[in-house]
Amino acid sequence: MTDKKTKANTLWGGRFEGGVSDIMEKINASIDFDKILYRQDIKGSIEHCKMLVTTDIISSEDGIAIQNGLRQIEGEIDAGDFEFSAALEDIHMNIEARLTEIIGSTAGRLHTARSRNDQVATDFKLWVRDACDQADEALKALQFVLINKAEENADVIIPGFTHLQNAQPVTFGHHLMAYFEMFTRDRARFADARKRLNECPLGAAALAGTSFPIDRHQTAKALGFDRPTYNSMDSVSDRDFALEFLSAASISAIHVSRLAEEMVMWSCAQFKFIQMSDSFTTGSSIMPQKRNPDAAELCRGKSGRIIGSLNSLLITMKGLVLTFSKDMQEDKEVTFDAVETYSLIIAAMTGMVEDMKVNADHMKKATEVGFITATDLADWVVRVLGLPFRNAHHITGSLVALAEKKGCDLDGLTLEEMQQVEPKITKEVFNVLSVESSVGSRVSFGGTAPSEVLKQVALAKERIG
């Protein structure tokens, strides 16, 4: 048996005669992780206090004392001089207890017309809103690096894969710009999440609102929200904003992971498409020749951790009745961890892309196998000979089989050998069988032609914001 605390929590203990057990204190306390919310908590409290003064719910003298005390506490936490207590459960009660030490019983007036329920919802929304802004800035930096690298490699030719088989030649710049588009959508998702979360729960109190004549519009505006939330019960039970952030972060982490996987593949000895810098690789304890792409592998691995955070909170929320349940305390650790992890992998990917060296010769050489211009041949048969595409597809397939037997690529076949399959083929067909001709011809909007890649780079610089 564990001993019970002999003294009940003075901030909520009026109903309780005895104390709580050590186990209860440990499972109930959140201060070890929610202390990260101290700036948001103090900011929300200051604006709540100002509103209480404006609406004559508390005196201006009390308001000044409370605000000065809160600013002192913020300074103490900033300086590392604040002593956090698990017995006080969370950041809100730790701050209120310290405020009481500084200004006495006047501190108790601050909690008029609010509850920890609407207080924590407000703090958490403010924190997630900041996280959305930080994610956007980090993604923007990554996009600039991708744009620059794509512009440098607009005419570098690389195999384009389907099923990890050589499919059609593309330019490396075009390949990198595909990730630019993914991260553009990621930024839009964070922006959408931010827009939807930007309603202020403060003033919803425990769940039913308050009988005090508060001005929720004042606090909402002061805290940078678009408006107060419309329903007090939804205000304190909503964690959609955290779920939506985690969803956006998970999708974006998948994009990072896909690029990381490609970089792992591109950097291996079998490809040698790129060389990663010493800054983002490690060596082996036994094999001195190794250059391990650990940063890329960790980006790939940590994406699963972010997805796990989303799954964890979805499962936590799925069975909760309105309004607040203590289960919802589990919303923060997973979100805090996901934000830290996401920030880390975006920063690492930005550095890896910026530092990587492109081996254009190896990329080009990899296009010499796999009959990578077969589609160009089929298109030529359609365009020049006027045959239906299905016929052209069959003719090209037969020519591929012939080249495979001969042990050469398509341009290694003679005109006579090609005419055995389709007599109408002329020597002009060889003009489309080089990879340079192939990529140069793909000038449709969003295509891989170097000229088109440079157009897309220019558009991307305008779109990036």
DSSP secondary structure code for residue 164 in this structure: T
Q: Give me 62's structure tokens.
A: 């009390």
Cα→Cα distances 111→48, 73, 106, 425, 457, Å: 9, 16, 10, 86, 54
Residue 233, Cβ neighbours under 10 Å: how many?
16
Residue with tokens 């359609």: 382
Helix (H) or strand (E) holding 272, with range, is: none
Q: Catalytic one among 60, 85, 284, 325?
A: 284
Q: Catalytic one among 163, 211, 285, 444?
A: 163
Q: Give me 119's structure tokens.
A: 């207080």
Q: Which amino acid is at 383?
A: R
Please give the backbone phi and psi of residue 165, each rounded to the nearest 5 degrees, phi first: -115, 145
Residue 410 CA to residue 404 CA, distance in Å, equals 9
Cis peptide before 323 (omega within 30 of 0): yes
Residue with tokens 């070890």: 32
175 classed as catalytic: no
Are 402 and 394 in contact, with CB atoms under 8 Å apart? Answer: no
Residue 158 CA to residue 363 CA, distance in Å, equals 5
DSSP secondary structure code for residue 167 in this structure: E
End-to-end CA distance of the chain: 61
92 classed as catalytic: no
How far from the centroid of its chain's Cα atoms is residue 412's Cα? 47
Active site residues: 163, 284
